[in-house]
Amino acid sequence: MSLQTAFYKTPIGTAKIIGDENGIQSITVLDEDFSGNLDTVNTKVPYYLQDCITQLEQYFSGERVNFDLKLNPQGTTFQKKVWEELLNIPFNKTRTYLEQSKALGDVKAIRAVASANGKNPIWIIIPCHRVIGSDGSLTGYAGGIWRKKWLLAHENPVKQQSLF
């Protein structure tokens, strides 16, 4: 079966989801608005992409902290190893690029790890947004720093409350 595409409107843009019966190959968030009627598109989503949309809806509504989807990202062996390790970063936690390199067993691979992190084809579900600079800065995110900041704030259970 050929790859299928579905679109889902999120608070940070329209998610473009590509996959087939072998799993989700990519999720990217588009900067431009999707010109089609998303409600119409979503009713025709292949069954193997429907669960992804359901789980993304749950994530954005605050009901889901872990994803349970069949993933099939396309990349080199090294990239896939980096992406697998990203899945070990818990919800509402961050890890530095150095810590990520250490977890992969090679401190000297920090640049290669950062590069592979930036090529993650399955945004949000493979949580590359949870990797930050050693000084705590929100360095690099293919979707833009504002999206990384939004996702990390969304995952933080401590919401700023007004004093008045």
Question: Which tokens is 105 given?
Answer: 């067993």
Burial (Cβ within 10 Å: 0-12, 13-18, ≥19) of residue 151: buried
Q: Where are the alpha helices (DSSP H) in 89-164?
A: 97-103, 110-118, 145-155
Q: Rounded to whole angstroms, how far apart are CA atoms 59 and 68?
A: 12
Does the active-site annotation cover 128? yes
Q: If you search the block for the tokens 């789980």, which residue do you land on?
A: 55
**Among 27, 128, 132, 151, the one annotated catalytic:** 128
Question: Which tokens is 59 given?
Answer: 């994530």
Catalytic sites, residue numbers: 128
